[in-house]
Amino acid sequence: MNESDVISAIDDCHFVCRLTTRELGAEAGREKSLTATRLATAAIALIWKTPSRALSRINLAFDRQPHRREFLSHVPEESLSVHSMWSYAPSGPHISPDEWEIELLNWADTFAAVGDIHEFVVIVAVAAE
């Protein structure tokens, strides 16, 4: 694996989830990693008042590649306009680093439980296979 491969995979993502799997083939490792990442993302979304809304905006780039959609609108005898909008642009509720530190402490028990689930999904389930 070259540095350029890593840069290509990460692209312009602001956050990267790194998970190490052992004794798995590429496809099984990818699936275990995606499951663990989705669980972590769901746990983080629980911080907000409407977790489902936060989760839909957090958006893993792997699941839904952000792209621009363009379209034309025409008003007869007036104008022709070009419009564009982002589709699946990753976003989420804003939280400052200081606020995040507080939330990490407040939600430590939940995140610890998610860590236990990660361990089961990635480690125990692999040992059973």
Cα-based torsion angle of the residue sequence 3, 6, 8, 9 in order, rounded to the nearest 10 degrees:
170
Helix (H, G, I), strand (E, B) or coil at 81: strand
Count of domains in the chain? 1
Token pair of 27 as six digits = 């496809």
Full-model pTM: 0.58
Q: For residues 129 and 118, what is the distance between their CA atoms, to the nearest angstrom?
A: 16
What local confidence, expressed as pLDDT, does residue 102 receive?
Answer: 92
Q: Which residue range(s) make up the domain with 109?
A: 3-128
Average pLDDT by stretches of 10, the chain with 129 residues: 70 69 75 82 84 76 70 77 73 78 90 83 58
**Residues, the chain, total?**
129
Integer Cα distance of 91 and 79 in angstroms:
33
pLDDT of residue 23: 72
